[in-house]
Amino acid sequence: MTAAANHHGRRTTTRTRRLERAGIRDVAAAAGVSITTVSDALNGKGRLPDETRTKVREVAERLGYRPSAAARTLRTGRSGLIGLTVTTYGQEPFTFTEFAYFAEMARAATSAALNRGYALVVLPASSRHDVWSNVALDGTVVIDPSDHDPMVADLYRQGLPVVSDGKPGNCPVTAWVDNDHHAAVLGILDHLAQAGARRIGLLTGTSTDTYTRLSTEAYLGWCRSVGQEPLYEAYPAHDPCAGAVAADRLLARPDRPDAVYGLFDPNGTDLLAAARRYHLRVPDDLLLVCCSESDVYAATEPPITTLSLKPRRIGTTVVNLLIDAIEGHTSENPSPTDETATDRRVSGQLMPTELIVRRSSQRRPPRTTVSAPRPPGEE
C-alpha cells in the first residue's frame, strides 16, 4: 500500500501525463495488495490462495492491464522472439517467398514457433544492422548459411542459439537440419537412368551454399560411378533470367543431354521452354526433373516430375530444435568463447525428400514408341 501510494504520488506530482497505460503498480494499488502479489497472481507463481489470485486477475482485467513486454524481457532475459534469417543473394531486395520453398518453410516455422509460445520475425541477413541489434532475439534460425557466414558467427558469439536449415559449411551452430541431398540426387539420377536416360545433364548454381554444393557433388560422384561424362551448366541462382539462358545453353550443346535435372524452382519451366525451342519433345526426347515445391508443375504440358524437400517438416523441426536449445540450457550455455570445451558436438539431422513422379520423367514403353502420339483425352 505504501509503495502504491508512493507511486501514485510520484506520478501526479512530477508529471501530468494523460492516459497512462495501467502498470502493475496501478493494479496493486487498486487491488490493495503488493506488486509482488500481483506479479505472482498473474503468472501463476508464488503461494497464494485462489481467492487472492482471482481477485487480482479480475482487477487487472478491469483496468485493462497489459504487462510491458519490454520490461519483462529486460528482467527475465527472454523475449519470446526468434529470428528467421534468410541469406539474401547479391543485392536482390528480398527474395523471401520468391521460391515456394522459403514461403512454405517460413510458414511452418512461424506456426511451430507460435505453438510453443514464441513469435517469429523474419530478418534478411542483408538488412540494416540497426534493425538487427534493435530486436531482442532468444535465438535464430538461419536458412542455408554460406561458408564462414559472418552473421552466424556474430550471433553465436553473442551466446544466442543458432539452428540452421542446411548443413552449415564452416560456421558454428547449435544444431542443424538438412535434407539428404546426396541420397535425393542419387535417387533422381537412378530414376532417370531407369527411364532410359543415357546422358543426364544438370542445371546447377554458382553459389557456395550447402544445397548447391552437395547436390553437385552427388551428381559428379554418380557420373564417375556410372562412367558418364558430366554435363552441367552453372548460373547465379538468384537471377531468373540467367536460369533461362543456362537452360538454353545446356540444350544447345553438341553433346546434348537426353535428361536434365534442375536444382532450382524455375528450372522446370525454363527447361520446358528451351526444349520447345529446340523441338525436343518431353518426355520422348528429353526427360525432365526439377526441384520445386510449386504445384504449377502438376499443370504444365507435360506435367513435370519434381523433388520436394518437404519444407514444412524442415521448418517445424528447425524451430523445435531451436526452442529446445533456448529452453534447455539457457544458463548452461557452454560459453562460446571457451574454445577448449569439447562439448562442441553439433547435433545434425537429415530429413527425407519426396520425389513426385509425373509424365516428364516417364517413357511409357521404354524405348520403342519414342514418337508415338498419345491418345487424346487421356487426362
Partner DNA sequence: TGTTCATGGAGAAACGTATCTCCGACGTCT
Partner DNA sequence: AGACGTCGGAGATACGTTTCTCCATGAACA
Q: Which of the choices DNA, a copy of itself, none does residue 330 contact, using the CB cut-off of 5 to 8 A by kind?
A: none
Helix axes 240-252, 267-277, angle to 10 degrees: 40
- Any alpha helices (H) in the chain, and if so which ranges? 2-14, 24-31, 35-43, 50-63, 69-76, 100-115, 129-134, 150-157, 181-194, 210-226, 240-252, 267-277, 311-328
User: Which of 6, 12, 54, 133 touches a copy of itself (CB under 8 A)?
Assistant: 133
Q: Does position 377 bind a copy of itself by CB under 8 A?
A: no
User: Which of 1, 5, 74, 370 touches a copy of itself (CB under 8 A)?
Assistant: 74
Helix axes 2-14, 24-31, angle to 10 degrees: 130
The Cα–Cα gap between 147 and 344 comes to: 18
Place of cell 520475425: 121
Q: Which of the choices DNA, a copy of itself, none does residue 124 contact, using the CB cut-off of 5 to 8 A by kind?
A: a copy of itself
Chain centroid offset of residue 144 CA: 8
Q: Which of the choices a copy of itself, DNA, none does residue 25 contact, using the CB cut-off of 5 to 8 A by kind?
A: DNA
Shortest spacing between CB 62 and a copy of itself, in angstroms? 13
Q: Does position 69 bind a copy of itself by CB under 8 A?
A: yes
Residues near DNA (CB under 7 A):
1-3, 10-11, 14, 20-21, 23-25, 32-37, 39-40, 42-43, 45-49, 52, 65-68, 71-72, 74-76
Contacts of 306 (CB under 8 A, 6+ apart): 268, 289, 290, 291, 292, 293, 294, 297, 355, 356, 358
Q: Closer to a copy of itself by CB, 158 or 347: give it.
A: 158
Q: Does position 70 bind a copy of itself by CB under 8 A?
A: yes
The Cα–Cα gap between 339 and 279 comes to: 60
Secondary structure of the chain: what % helix, strand, coil (to 5)? 45, 15, 40
Identify which range of 128-136, 171-179, 197-205, 247-255 contacts a copy of itself by CB under 8 A: 128-136
User: Which of 36, 39, 73, 330 touches a copy of itself (CB under 8 A)?
Assistant: 73
Q: Does position 337 bind a copy of itself by CB under 8 A?
A: yes
Q: Which amino acid is at 282?
A: V
Give yes or no for a contact between 171 and 152, defined as CB atoms under 8 angstroms apart: yes
Shortest spacing between CB 117 and DNA, in angstroms? 14
Q: Which residues sit at the interface with a copy of itself, rule CB under 8 A?
A: 18-19, 21, 64, 66-74, 79-81, 93-94, 96-97, 103-104, 106-107, 110-111, 114, 117-124, 127-128, 130-131, 133-136, 157-159, 295-296, 299-301, 335-338
